Amino acid sequence: MKQLWEWRQPFMDGPLAAWLEQLPQQVDTVWREKSHGDLAGWRKTLSQLPALDISSIDLRSARIRAGDIDDCDQASRHSLLHGLQQFHPWRKGPYEICGIHLDSEWRSDLKWDRLQSQIKPLHDRLVLDVGCGNGYHAWRALGEGAKLVIGIDPTQLFIIQFEAIKYFLGEHHPVHLFPLSIEQMPPDLKAFDTVFSMGVFYHRQSPFAHLTELRGALRRGGELVLETLVIEGGEDEVLVPKWRYAKMRNVWFIPTPKTLQNWLQRAGFTHVRLIDVAITTFEEQRATEWMHFESLADYLDPVDQHLTIEGYPAPRRAIFVATA
């Protein structure tokens, strides 16, 4: 996290200026007053990652890649593998560092493939990724030519994972993740050309509050890319789990696509389009050596995999795009 704020200068006269002035203090407060108990250990591990001469990077393939197998010797590879494993669990990816495949729980590349050709080109755009995890989609946005990508996620381990990846991809890239939630951003910033909200919506208690926050972050004419759980059904149908959904406690509501389309329009978005609906498969979400806790197979009914363990419809995800 060296020279974290130097990148601000080109944007200090634009719509981002109001937030960028207060952002350093916001982040410093989180690290100082609300830091995770393991943060000191994570930072120590970060500082001990081997210094490597990275020959090439790739931000446009399924595996975000830094370096090749010949870029490190056996001792460095052992140190690299051990260090990266200390940041378990790796939920989002995949990544490849000098031939080491970080096989994350989620094949986030599959989600990217479903949306990439359906959204406005990201070249030269200001991008915000809300609930970004460790930044996989932020890197893919940068690979498509975004001018600046900012990711926010309150889970501090994910920010540390991002810093580990960025250490090898190069500190000079204009992609930055911060341990914040969207509520900590100024309302009605109206600064970003594209805002991603991927797998966040159903975790929010108020759907319209989240949609208002997302619209407020977008400039007029900017594009929202929203991915969330949905159920089959018609207009005005919504599943509200009694307690857990697929073993998750914090799932508050799952609408049908038609219901969500209406909500987006009610929240002030126009040109609302449903671009994809897909059932989550074991190819896309599964336990691996980089995430060896429970995963999708443990969340479904062992007799009928069309149902969750609680008896609800199995995970089905939709992607919408809409204009502010």
Could you tell me the pLDDT band of residue 7, with boundaries at 50, 70 and 90? low
Could you tell me the pLDDT band of residue 113, with boundaries at 50, 70 and 90? very high
Nearest of 137, 200, 124 to residue 165 by alpha carbon: 137
List beta partners, residue 65. 58, 96
pLDDT tens column, 51-61: 999 999 999 99
Burial 63-75 (b: 16+ CB within 10 A, else e): ebbbbeeebbeee
pLDDT tens column, 214-253: 999 999 999 999 999 999 999 999 999 999 999 999 999 9
Q: Which residues contact 271 (CB under 8 A, 6 or more apart)?
A: 321, 322, 323
Supply the pLDDT for residue 13.
72
pLDDT tens column, 291-309: 999 999 999 999 999 999 9
User: Tokens standing for 239?
Assistant: 């599943």
Under CATH, what is the fold of the domain 106-323?
Answer: Rossmann fold (3.40.50)
